[in-house]
Amino acid sequence: MAAGRAKTDGAMDIKMFDVDGQLLRVGIRHGNSNRPPLMMFNGIGANLELAAPFMAALEDTTGIIFDVPGVGGSPNPIFPYRPSTLARLGKRLGEILGHDRLDISGVSWGGGLAQQFAFQYPSVCRKLILAATAPGVTMVPGAPSVLSKMASPKRYTDPGYMRSIAAEIYGGDFRKDPTLINRHASAMKGASQYGYFLQLFAMSGWTSLPWLWMLRQPTLIMAGTDDPLVPVINARMLNTMIARSRLELLDDGHLFLVTKPKQSAEMIEAFLRE
């Protein structure tokens, strides 16, 4: 494990951890709450720095996020993985950090991992937050032109390309404020092409729909009303299938955690305090 400097201003303390033979680059936002920490699974191709505004906006919650293997600063895995593999890595990372209970959140692609974690480790996951996500291959998709742009790793390897398509694929505030696009693009470190392929492969054929009704964690489902990638109907589907869930809609697009970090953090922490 590489040492890192402790942060006291809401910024993340970033270190490398060896988790059962897989090196993971981990960001920890230190809080002072006695609640379980919030572990976040990021979107496809996204490095942990993209979650920094949200983590900094948390008031007293400890936040944990890691680059999945092949993304950001985490090296490629030896073998391809499935959502169950990453759920196990997340659980083991929590144990290494001294936590046997976690609140779990997931954004977009990472929302599938969050659902898998809650199902796979019901005694570890206390509460569940699903943001801009869907139940896997059974989702109602966005427009084909939007999905084709999302499927390419070029948006994470070429900041100029990202700037050119961000408003179309993310919607919401990205349509109105060009500075948001520049800020988002400058924080990207991205995935290798192999790492991006592994993330696409991991979710191929995966769906949570057969067992969503079995989830018993209190669940907050968040969705943007102008989300070209994951239309709101997917959030309504999750809300219908998960027994102890509620749905909150935000007047924004796919990346409301990035564009509205303070509002999102306040909503999530209010839910965690209940």
Pinpoint the alpha helices (H) of 8-136. 52-57, 83-96, 109-120
Among 108, 208, 245, 264, the active-site one is 108
- Could you give the strand order of the β-sheet that contains 125-131, starting from the edge strand earlier in sequence? 13-19, 22-29, 63-66, 38-41, 102-107, 125-131, 219-224, 245-250
* Whether the Cβ atoms of residue 12 and residue 187 lie closer than 8 Å to each other: no
Q: Per the structure block, which two tokens stand in for 112?
A: 């599938």
* Whether the Cβ atoms of residue 64 and residue 28 lie closer than 8 Å to each other: yes
Rounded (5°) CA angle 192-194-197 = 110
Our answer to whether residue 264 is catalytic in this structure is: no
Catalytic residues, by residue number, are 108
